[in-house]
Chains A and B, each alone.
Chain A
Amino acid sequence: MKTEADLDNEIVSKVLAGDYNAFEFLVEKYEGRIYRHLRKMVRDNQLAQDLLQETFLSAFKGLKGFSGASSFSTWLFRIATNTALMFLRKNRPESVEYSDEIRGQVDAPHMSVSPAFASTPLENLLTSETRKKIEQAIDELPLLYRSVIVLRDVEGFSLEEVSKIMDSSVAAIKSRLHRARNYVRESLASYYTGTERAEKRKGSRVRP
């Protein structure tokens, strides 16, 4: 049975043989995910759009160099990541250089674990408000942390693939992922604790 990577490799061969429609197929397949990744990296929709175009143009130009050693998606996300990092290093160096700290993260492990949060079924938690909270928490993270959590937990790449995309060791990726996940968890737990309190207050008002 062919894997997703095998199918992509077949399409890449067609593009290399001069089939431009095959390239457009790859673009349509990955544009949404690459745009999401770039938006999270640079937190600016217009800039993400420019980098999206640059990423796919670089991919088209560099396709001959794609060896198939990693999957096409890993290769493409690496181009997108490098395109964004190059732009940021040149134009917003502070966002890259000082991005290895999570400010104000609480180290005490058991703070604000809302019992309801830990026991509520997933589908009930996934409201539009929660989506906003998650997006906001990810946006608050420094660049390297939010890139890692997006690649691993949103995009579903393996730790080894994330390490290739980010050009970092697996140990560094794990460490950033641990802190990023805990930061998002803390934000959600605080949000749910606040919501529960508000619900209880609301509930107590209607009681006789």
Chain B
Amino acid sequence: MNECKFFCDQLSDYIDGQIDEDECRYLEEHLKHCPPCSSLLASLKITVQLCERALPADIPDDVRVALKDFLRNHCKQCV
């Protein structure tokens, strides 16, 4: 379990390609023989992919119009 904790702490960095070659090899070796850690990695990867898609960058029309008006009024004063 301690071994798993050690490897689990590396999973986020692993997804980002932030661990070095040796660490990567040890981790991948562990993942081959540890289904729970492997499943954890899969679910963490999916979480990251879901976060990428889950929150739209929508802006309500009234907020957009208010921003445009605000900037037109205030930016002219600074020029």
Q: What band does the interface of chain A fall in when counting residues whose beta carbon is under 8 Å from B?
A: 35 or more
Partner of A20, one of B40, B44, B75: B75
Residues on the B chain within 8 Å of A177, using CB: 12, 16
Q: Are B37 and A27 in contact (CB under 8 A)?
A: no
Identify whether the interface residues of B are mostly helix, strand, loop, or mixed: helix
Interface residues of B (CB under 8 A from A): 4-5, 8-9, 11-13, 16, 18, 36-37, 39-40, 42-44, 46-59, 63-64, 66-68, 70-71, 74-75, 78-79
11 contacts between A and B (CB under 8 A): A23-B71, A36-B58, A40-B55, A49-B66, A56-B71, A60-B78, A110-B4, A113-B40, A138-B51, A150-B55, A154-B55
Interface residues of A (CB under 8 A from B): 18, 20, 23-24, 27, 31-33, 35-36, 40, 49, 52-53, 56-57, 60-61, 107, 109-110, 113-115, 117-120, 122, 125-126, 130-131, 134-135, 138, 149-150, 153-154, 156, 159, 174, 177-178, 181-182, 184-185, 188-189
